[in-house]
Amino acid sequence: MFIINCPYCGDRDQTEFSCHGEAHIPRPTNTATMTDEEWGDYVFFRSNPKGYHRERWLHDHGCRRWFNALRHTVTDEFVATYKVQDPRPQIPGDGDQS
Amino acid sequence: MAGPSCRQSRYIDDFMKAYSLFSLARNAMSYHRNWQRAWRSPDPKSKYDVVIIGGGGHGLATAYYLATQCGINNVAVIEKGWLGGGNTGRNTTIVRSNYLLDASAGMYEHAMKLWEGLSQELNYNVMFSQRGLLHLAHSVHDMQEIGRRGNAIHLNGIDSEFLTPEQVKEMLPIINLNCRYPVMGGLLQKRGGTARHDAVAWGYARGADAAGVDIIQNCEVRGVRVESNTVVGVETSRGFIGAGKVGSVAAGHSSVIAEMAGFKMPLECYPLQALVSEPIKPIIDCVVMSNGIHVYVSQSDKGELVVGSGSDAYNSYSQRGSFDLIEHTVGPLCELFPLFSRLRMLRQWAGIVDVTVDRSPILSKTPVKNLYFNCGWGTGGFKATPGSGHAFAHSIAAGEMNEIAAPFSIDRFNSGALIDEGAAAAVAH
Amino acid sequence: MSQSQRLSQGGMIDRSKPISFAFDGRQYTGYQGDTLASALLANGVRLMGRSFKYHRPRGAIAAGSEEPNALVQLETGAYTEPNTRATCIELYDGLVAKSQNRWPSLEFDIGAVNSLVARFLPAGFYYKTFMWPASMWMTYEKFIRKAAGLGVSPVEDDPDVYHGTYAHCDVLVIGGGPAGISAATAAAGSGARVMLLDEGSEYGGALLGTSDNAAAKSYIDSALGALGQSENVRLLSRTTATGYYDYNYITALEKVTDHLGPGNGGDAPRQRFWKIRAKQVVIAAGSIERPLIFADNDRPGMMLANAVGVYINRYGVLPGNDVVVFTNNDSAYQVALDASAAGATVTVVDTRRNVSADLKSKLEQNNIRLFEGHAISSVQGGKGVESVRIMELSADGESLQGQAWEIVCTCVATSGGWTPSCHMFSQSGGKLKYEESIAGFIPDSSRAKNSCPNVSAGSCNGVFTTQECIAQGVEAGISAAGAAGRSGSVPSVDTFAVNEIPQGAIAPLWLVPTVHPVGEGKAKHFHDFQNDVTAADIHLAAREGFVSVEHLKRYTTTGMATDQGKTSNLNALAIMANIQGVSIPEVGTTTFRPPYTPLTLGAVGGQESRELFIQERKTPMHEHHVASGAVFEDVGDWKRPWYLPKEGEDMHAAVQRETLAVRESVGMLDASTLGKIDIQGKDAVKLLEMVYTNNWQKLAIGSCRYGLMLNEHGMIFDDGVTTRLGENHYHMTTTTGGAARVMNWLEEWLQTEWPEWEVYCTSVTEQWAVLAINGPKARDLLRDLTDIDVSKDAFPFMTMREGTVADVPARVYRISFTGELSYEINVPARYGKHLIEALTEAGKKYDLVPYGTETMHVLRAEKGFIIVGQDTDGTVTPHDMDMDWIVSKTKEEYLGNRAQARVDTRREKRPQLIGLLTEDPTVVLPEGAHIVAEVLDKPPMPTIGHVTSSYMSPNAGRSIALALLQDGINRKGETVSLSMMDGTVHKAKVTDTVFVDKEGVRVRG
């Protein structure tokens, strides 16, 4: 049972939130020219890492805002939460800002 | 590669050590000193014809059928922990084949038929109990769903019958028909039921071992070696193990194995939770599944109520899950069976389920030659264990997915030919 | 033999309050302050239960929640409760308990025959047999199931109520022994908001079992008194911390009124379930003594040494007049002294040869015999120990030697050392480390989980003297308070010392050597009492290769009983380690899974059942429907009128009447449940363009348009009518069940993909009450009640007008789901009841008929209008629905566009929506019936489609159906066969989907 720091509301109980999968997968703007493989990759294929994961959360029973989180999928611990338009926080121990 | 006659003789040898009432009595006379190891604990060889990654039920079944039916004995099963320690040992042991779609029916009924002779085939009592599995309908929409599915199952040649609320009450005298969403009917599969989950892993392990398969526990795969886009072996915590073919049956860790091999899978991992009550004398004789109220319960032979919970909706490899799901499992349970309220929860746990978008599994070739994946069983893999292993073994042996496995190819996520039981019927697996 | 074992004085029971109770039909007397177990022991009752597998006679071995044996069926009827630990049941007047898992009686149990054939029932025997003939398994299983289980479930509904509650604190202290009390005192003194939980009825933990309990009690009372006066402290006794979850979320079960007896709790709940979020946790959960494992160590009268001490000192009960203390460490010597002081004849058998001079002299002063380097070799007595034989241990401790001495005794107090209770720490995600000096696992604080800040103190952390526990408690309390941001001045915390002998140097002896090799004599060496798992079973598991700790556990079932291995797990690990020749930590530990002790289901979920399960949603017109005699249907969480039968009508008759009436005069339907979303902002139309398949740019203000929504798989997931209310203002409707889903869908895209767009979505489903009037007389009816010009030209089809209806403000949409002239009258929700009453009154002269959802379904099916979720199923494209007309050919982008072009989605011969007319017009096909490619004698038969909607249509004068059929659009005119479950075959003609008013004249009337 996590405590999640909503970037708009602050620390709240997990039961107020829902998770909506991997973040930073923009919808392609050239859908007409995409192959089935490219489209399938966008819709279905996920990194599903055993480690740090950037993901989307919704503060359902709160401000109803979507935001992003950086969380570790083994410890389930949050490193950071951030607004959709904010820069991505760094992965601990990783110099690369990807 | 060993020929069939060779297999045969090994197998006969093994039958001398077979389990039976007589061998039990004979061994009792010698104080059980002479039981053999259920399976050996060999050091890995430098190379195998086939390496199976993952010593759960599906992986062990794959190895068993490779060795006993496909003439491929030079097989290793590599398990990073202990056999059956993943979802095989963590599920709620439900077995059924009452699926809507033809592809699913093909797979799960194939499994069901194997279940029906499995204890005898393996000479290991997997306690497959065809006590009946009852789906409850709580709304007009549910009735339409079971109406469609019941007919589809029937026409696929699988047993299926509709029950009225009165017949449901007769099967389950303790049910509260008039719950928040009153029970309007039921769909019964009499051949459905439960099995002893650990025994399935152990039975297949023992059988595979007897047929020459090396089962290597405490051996973690750390890399997949690919040369010229062809798999040549796996790097493990016990060194490199060469392989002609590799079958990954790693369930919750399939994405990790895929990453080692350089591709992504259409999978996400979630915690799936379950709980058992303290043991009590028999009170519920069939498996009950209610998608309307969200109750999935049966009673183990030991007497515990085995209760399936839900999966948390966030990616996780932690095998923990959040407590609110347990609350939202117990509440409905007490709504449908109010007298359970005074019973007690003994233990809760979680597994990692690898889930595809259509909630159907993947049995498939991959972008890497000779590397095959069997994964994505999500919340419903246990029931498929024999069928999955059987189909995957024959497919690996042939180098092509067989008729039962073919619809579950990874290509469906590009073509759009999903096998979406959930969308089609709103059925939780 | 009334309370024959009750000491004449001492103990913390209230001798002025005798309590009568019944066990297995016999009446006994105990005292206020007793547990059921202590009261039974006081009455000389040692035999309290039977074991799971062999039905061996068993008595209580413990005095607390770790008890594996003394499980009883507490109370009867609706209040009955199986598997309740007698050691945790506080005695109350009139208590009724029965023993379990025996037939016909506890004394004479047929099931004990299992014990005679035990040789044939080693661990996992069932995997090796019961396989032939295959058909017999279900019969075998029936017997196995009956033999298994322990107590019986109630068969009546639970009459009790439970509460769930949340709490937050700075420092949660788990365990109210000396460490916990001190931690709470120190933390509270630092200014922290503190909660202190203890599972017992009294605080004090191990202190309650000490011989100088009067002094202990005054120490406890003074500490608790101070804590109780502190405003920032909450004390919860009878409260067990059951689970420790991420981010310091701790669950706890408070037994609020159990100790009063059934039905005596007044208004208070039976139990309360706490969900606590703590900034910091101090774990002071204590430790649990391990039994020594020797031949027939399960006979009633065998007890953990500390339990004997607790029964003597806390309850004033001497469990046996002749006591053998059997130990491998010092702590049991205090019990020997206490038993001696209580009047027992005591013999100490110590497996060690280096007992300290100090201890020896203490024994001598009390005339207690001591056998050093000895062990119990056998036990006499079936339903209760009568004597033990002891033999000398060889120098290497591997075997027994010499002559056996027989010692008469009725109680054996054994101690194999103390196991710190690491359950909570382990559940929090922390890792354990093995501590040789205490022969046990303790928390490795360096490997705690960051999100679960906690500190362990006291004997759960491996220190065993009261003073050390208090010191650790104080330190933990201060540091936890500090970490929670409370570091005020710390008061001095009292310390306290008692007569106690700590464990000291322990000489582990995990399995007492045996005369016969384990498993080969008649004796059994139990480590898991309840599940009847013996050392021989561990040997067998090792022999067969079940050596990993989880395999050991699962193969032998050790640690899986209702006590979850509290007294057995470490012993089992150690025996396996010895067999394997590896260290204990190399074997590993099993995971400590919640709950710590079994948790009442009603307490966890009780609040979510009955009327509080899922709230029923009712429309503002609900009362009117009830008064009209409506039968309701559950649609999502809503209650909707399904049909409104007149006297003597069944559902079919009512629906036929309603359906005809709508097309003949006028009918009304409560449509308030439809999802409604108010959309505003300058980019609103951009949103509509993206989420719907058709074009929205040119929709005029005041006009309505139907839209389909696709997901990114290209499949239909919702539909509805959206109306342009103003320049940048739209009113969207959704399906009833899809309202929340669509709202989230819009928001998700807006917030994550197009955050720069200026669009505001507001759910207004519950702000509007909606009544749909349908039928040729709808206009006349509306005209009587409105100031809106309802003439055909002024208010055409697919437009909206604002005005008043029945004198209240209204938006009226001229849209139709029936194909009739139709108006959907929306009024603010508070006028809903008024609206339907006004319509009902005004409608009399037009033969207005109220109708329900079933009639709505027939009417729309007559027109071939689809219901998303019934005629579509999440695998259906607009093309499959024969709805290409609604898919824009000109828009570049909209959600779901690309997916429709995939290989499979554009493949020919996908299932497509068609109409079906049965050859026999009276046959109404069952929904879900399948169309087969060819009719065979019996299944399997290949199928090519299925019926999605099917009704008797009074307006078409026959049955009608909609179906999804492979290549259906090209098959119109063909005849297909449908095979029923009972083997009947129906033939039907494939048609288009419109069965009434094919030209669509009526809707524009």
pLDDT level of residue A93 (50, 70, 90 thresholds): confident
Inter-chain touch C941–B347, beta carbons under 8 Å? no
Q: Which residue has the higher pLDDT, C492 or C603?
A: C603
User: Any residues with CB less than 8 A from the CB of C648 and at least 6 apart, and which?
Assistant: none
Q: What is the CA radius of gyration of chain B?
A: 22
Query: How many Cα atoms occupy the beta-carbon half-sphere of C248 within 13 Å?
Result: 24
Question: What residues in B contact C616, CB-CB < 8 Å?
Answer: 180
pLDDT level of residue C488 (50, 70, 90 thresholds): confident
| pLDDT tens profile B98-116 | 999 999 999 999 999 999 9
Q: What is the mean pLDDT of residues C392-397?
A: 92
Q: What is the mean pLDDT of residues C204-226?
A: 93
User: Any residues with CB less than 8 A from the CB of B228 and at least 6 apart, and which?
Assistant: none
Q: How far is B359 from chain A (nearest CA, A)?
A: 12
Nearest CB partner across the interface for A45, out of B253, B256, B266:
B266
Q: Which among C596, C799, C611 is positioned nearest to C704, based on CA atoms?
A: C799
| pLDDT tens profile C795-848 | 999 999 999 999 999 999 999 999 999 999 999 999 999 999 999 999 999 999
Would A96 be classed as within a structural domain? Answer: no
Question: What residues in C contact B37, CB-CB < 8 Å?
Answer: 543-545
| pLDDT tens profile C909-945 | 999 999 999 999 999 999 999 999 999 999 999 999 9
Question: What residues in A contact B314, CB-CB < 8 Å?
Answer: 19, 55, 71, 76
Inter-chain touch C449–A34, beta carbons under 8 Å? no
Whether A95 and A52 have beta carbons less than 8 Å apart is answered as no
Inter-chain touch B268–A40, beta carbons under 8 Å? no
Q: Which among B60, B115, B118 is positioned nearest to B84, based on CA atoms?
A: B60
Residue B38: burial class (beta carbons within 10 Å; 0-12, 13-18, 19+): buried
Helix B197-210 to helix C549-556 angle (10° resolution) is 110
User: A with C: how many residue pairs have Cβ under 8 Å apart?
Assistant: 56
Inter-chain touch A1–B323, beta carbons under 8 Å? yes
Q: What is the mean pLDDT of residues C437-461?
A: 96
Interface mutation target, options C242, C244, C752, chain A, most CBs of A under 10 Å: C752
pLDDT level of residue A94 (50, 70, 90 thresholds): low
Would A88 be classed as within a structural domain? Answer: no
* C-alpha span between C403 and C406 (Å, rounded): 10
Count other C-beta atoms under 10 Å from residue C152's C-beta. 18
Kindly provide the ipTM of the predicted complex, given to two decimals: 0.96
Beta strand segments in C437-551, E:
440-443, 454-456, 526-528, 533-534
Question: What residues in C contact A14, CB-CB < 8 Å?
Answer: 247
What secondary structure letter does DSSP report for C18?
A: E
* C-alpha span between B101 and B112 (Å, rounded): 16
Question: What residues in C contact B335, CB-CB < 8 Å?
Answer: 608-610, 613
Q: Does pLDDT of B7 surpass 60?
A: no
Q: What is the mean pLDDT of residues C185-201?
A: 97
Inter-chain touch A74–B357, beta carbons under 8 Å? no
pLDDT level of residue B11 (50, 70, 90 thresholds): very low
pLDDT of residue B16: 43
Q: What is the mean pLDDT of residues A9-37?
A: 95
Beta strands C239-245; B362-365: pairing state: unpaired
Phi–psi pair at C388, nearest 5 degrees: -125, 155
* Alpha-carbon separation of residue C594 from C15, C256, C417, C597 (angstroms): 38, 21, 24, 8
Q: Chain-wide mean pLDDT for chain B? A: 93
Q: Does pLDDT of B4 surpass 80?
A: no
Whether C570 and C506 have beta carbons less than 8 Å apart is answered as no
User: Any residues with CB less than 8 A from the CB of C635 and at least 6 apart, and which?
Assistant: B139, C673, C736, C737, C853
Question: What residues in B contact A55, CB-CB < 8 Å?
Answer: 314-315
Inter-chain touch C748–A31, beta carbons under 8 Å? no
Residue C434: burial class (beta carbons within 10 Å; 0-12, 13-18, 19+): middle
Whether B268 and A50 have beta carbons less than 8 Å apart is answered as no
Residue in this structure with the two tokens 């338009």, named with its chain if needed: A85
Is C760 part of the contact surface with chain A (CB cutoff 8 Å)? no
| pLDDT tens profile C265-311 | 999 999 999 999 999 999 999 999 999 999 999 999 999 999 999 99
CATH code for position A51: 3.30.2270.10
Q: Which DSSP string do the residues of B213-255 spell out, in sequence order?
A: -EEE-S--EEEEEEETTEEEEEEETTEEEEEEEEEE--GGGHH
> Looking at this protein, which amino acid is placed at residue C731?
H
Whether C968 and C980 have beta carbons less than 8 Å apart is answered as no
Question: What residues in C contact B347, CB-CB < 8 Å?
Answer: 560, 564, 593-595
User: B with C: how many residue pairs have Cβ under 8 Å apart?
Assistant: 329
Nearest CB partner across the interface for A1, out of C245, C755, C902:
C245
Inter-chain touch C246–A76, beta carbons under 8 Å? yes
Interface mutation target, options C557, C569, C601, chain B, most CBs of B under 10 Å: C601
Q: Which among C642, C714, C764 is positioned nearest to C894, based on CA atoms?
A: C714
User: Any residues with CB less than 8 A from the CB of C143 and at least 6 apart, and which?
Assistant: none
Domain count, chain A: 1
Would A94 be classed as within a structural domain? Answer: no
The tokens describing B242, both together, are: 């060469």
Q: Which among B62, B87, B89, B12 is positioned nearest to B208, based on CA atoms?
A: B62
Phi–psi pair at C970, nearest 5 degrees: -85, -5
Residue in this structure with the two tokens 């086939």, named with its chain if needed: B50
pLDDT of residue C599: 98
Q: How far is A79 from chain B (nearest CA, A)?
A: 15
Question: What residues in A contact C752, CB-CB < 8 Å?
Answer: 56, 66, 84
User: Any residues with CB less than 8 A from the CB of A40 and at least 6 apart, and which?
Assistant: B266, B413, B414, C902
Q: Does pLDDT of B31 surpass 50?
A: yes
Mapped to the 3 state alphabet, what secondary structure does B8-75 carry?
A: HHHHHHHHCCCCCHHHHHHHHHCCCCCCCCCCCCCCCCCEEEEEEECCCHHHHHHHHHHHHHCCCCCE
Is B217 part of the contact surface with chain C (CB cutoff 8 Å)? yes
Residue C401: burial class (beta carbons within 10 Å; 0-12, 13-18, 19+): exposed
Q: What is the mean pLDDT of residues B309-332?
A: 94
- Please write down the long-range contacts of C701-704, taking CB distance under 8 Å and 24 or more positions apart: C701/C725, C701/C726, C701/C727, C702/C799, C702/C800, C702/C801, C703/C798, C703/C799, C703/C800, C704/C798, C704/C799, C704/C800, C704/C813, C704/C814, C704/C815
Q: What is the mean pLDDT of residues B83-100?
A: 96
Measure CA B354 to chain center. Answer: 12
Which chains are adjacent to chain B, needing at least 3 Cβ pairs under 8 Å? A, C
Helix B385-398 to helix B57-69 angle (10° resolution) is 50
The tokens describing B334, both together, are: 């007490």
Query: How many Cα atoms occupy the beta-carbon half-sphere of B245 within 13 Å?
Result: 25
Q: How far is A66 from chain C (nearest CA, A)?
A: 6
Peptide bond connecting C595 to the previous residue in cis, omega within 30 degrees of 0: yes
% of chain C surpassing 70 pLDDT: 100
Residue in this structure with the two tokens 């026959």, named with its chain if needed: C958
Q: Which among C2, C1, C92, C15 is positioned nearest to C316, based on CA atoms?
A: C15
pTM: 0.96
pLDDT of residue C487: 84
Residue in this structure with the two tokens 């309360």, named with its chain if needed: C272
Is B70 part of the contact surface with chain C (CB cutoff 8 Å)? no
Helix C651-664 to helix C853-862 angle (10° resolution) is 60
Nearest CB partner across the interface for C609, out of B280, B326, B335:
B335
Q: What is the CA radius of gyration of chain C?
A: 38
Q: Does pLDDT of B5 surpass 50?
A: no
Whether C805 and C812 have beta carbons less than 8 Å apart is answered as yes
Q: Does pLDDT of C874 surpass 70?
A: yes
Q: For A57, name the nearest residue in chain B, comparing CA atoms only.
A: B314
Would A8 be classed as within a structural domain? Answer: yes
Phi–psi pair at A50, nearest 5 degrees: -95, 90
Count other C-beta atoms under 10 Å from residue C288's C-beta. 24
How many residues does the structure list for chain B? 429
* C-alpha span between C803 and B237 (Å, rounded): 77
Kindly report which listed range (A88-97, C67-76, C529-538) carries the lowest average pLDDT score.
Answer: A88-97
Inter-chain touch C608–B331, beta carbons under 8 Å? yes
Is A31 part of the contact surface with chain B (CB cutoff 8 Å)? no
Q: Chain-wide mean pLDDT for chain C? A: 95
pLDDT of residue C590: 73
Would A10 be classed as within a structural domain? Answer: yes
Q: For B320, name the nearest residue in chain A, comparing CA atoms only.
A: A76
Residue in this structure with the two tokens 């363009």, named with its chain if needed: C689
Q: What is the mean pLDDT of residues C471-496?
A: 91
* DSSP tally for chain A: helices H, then strands E: 1, 6
Would A93 be classed as within a structural domain? Answer: no
Q: Does pLDDT of B9 surpass 70?
A: no
Q: Does pLDDT of C35 surpass 80?
A: yes
Measure CA B105 to chain center. Answer: 15
The tokens describing B257, both together, are: 């194995």
Domain span at A59? 3-28+39-82
* C-alpha span between C154 and C602 (Å, rounded): 13
What secondary structure letter does DSSP report for C6?
A: B
Residue B336, H or E segment? helix B323-336
Interface mutation target, options A16, A45, A52, chain B, most CBs of B under 10 Å: A45
Peptide bond connecting C133 to the previous residue in cis, omega within 30 degrees of 0: yes
Whether C704 and C815 have beta carbons less than 8 Å apart is answered as yes
pLDDT of residue B425: 58
Inter-chain touch B334–C606, beta carbons under 8 Å? yes
